[in-house]
Chains A and B, each alone.
Chain A
């Protein structure tokens, strides 16, 4: 590992319909383990990953709802949740596993501009 980079993950898929949410999380955790600067954005259907009271054991999957908690456990503190995605899905911050601060598209856009690498899935 020669350089430390600012790597942003935009997780925009619902938690279980595809494995994208899990793949995105796995990549981010790997980057955090190797001491990269990791940012995480929940956008579009990705906000459903944060919904409380998921019971993924019913479909023999691991519950992704505590993704946020896992992220901070690995030292990923810069987490953004897109307010417009929440609003268009009638979700409130109180519906989520943890209290989060909602951001607007300009904040996300600024983060993407400032990032060295962006993974988007």
Chain B
């Protein structure tokens, strides 16, 4: 089955973002297809590459990054949610004269049209947050 996962939850504020990560990994393990990951609202913090955690704690954005790369997933952060939360890619960083991009390059900045596209092309849409 084709799934789209929508994440509204920031990492570490609630369990939702971690549940979303585990659910996505479980889907892939069970042989399902993930059409798209869509990070929306506070969920965009899951793509922050400047996240630093204690050694005995999972770095959730890094886990997402690896899951996305290992499985060649399509991951999108909502443009309006991410810019106002300081999540910028290299080109946005340049445009706004910041020293560096904060977004993992495994996620792409795009608009809500990508969520509509994912909704219409997936068998299931599962929300976390």
- The answer, among B41, B42, B116, B125, for a CB contact under 8 Å with A30, is B116
B8 A121 Cβ-Cβ under 8 A: yes
Q: Which of B42, B115, B117, B121 contacts A27 (CB 8 A)?
A: B115
Q: For residue B125, which residues in chain A have a CB less than 8 angstroms away from its CB? A: 117, 119
Measured between alpha carbons, how far is A19 from B10 in the docked complex, in Å? 13
Say if the beta carbon of A23 comes within 8 Å of chain B.
yes
Contact (A31, B127) CB under 8 Å given A23-B41, A26-B112 = no
Kindly state whether residue A52 has any CB partner on chain B within 8 Å. no
Stretch at the interface among A2-10, A68-76, A80-88, A93-101: A2-10
Chain B, 97-129, contact with A by CB distance < 8 Å: what is the 0/1 string?
A: 000000000000001110111011100010101
Number of interface residues of A (CB under 8 A): 20
Our pick among A1, A7, A26, A119 for the contact of B117 (Cβ within 8 Å) is A1
Q: Given A1, A33, A119, which contacts B127 in the complex, CB threshold below 8 Å?
A: A119
Residues of A within 8 A of B121 (CB): 2-3
Identity of the chain A residue whose Cβ is nearest the Cβ of B121 in the assembled complex: A2
Q: A2-B121, A3-B121, A121-B129 are in contact. Are A23 and B40 (CB under 8 A)?
A: yes
Quote the shortest CB–CB distance from A105 to chain B (angstroms). 21
Q: Report the Cα distance A119→B118, complex, angstroms.
A: 13
Find out whether the CB atom of A120 lies under 8 angstroms from the CB atom of B127.
Answer: yes
Closest to B116 in A: A34
Chain A residue nearest in CB terms to B124: A117
The reply to whether B116 and A31 form a contact with Cβ atoms under 8 Å apart is yes
If A23-B8, A120-B127, A121-B129 touch, whether A1 touches B115 (CB-CB below 8 Å) is no
Residues of A within 8 A of B (CB): 1-5, 7, 19-20, 23, 26-27, 30-31, 33-34, 36, 117, 119-121
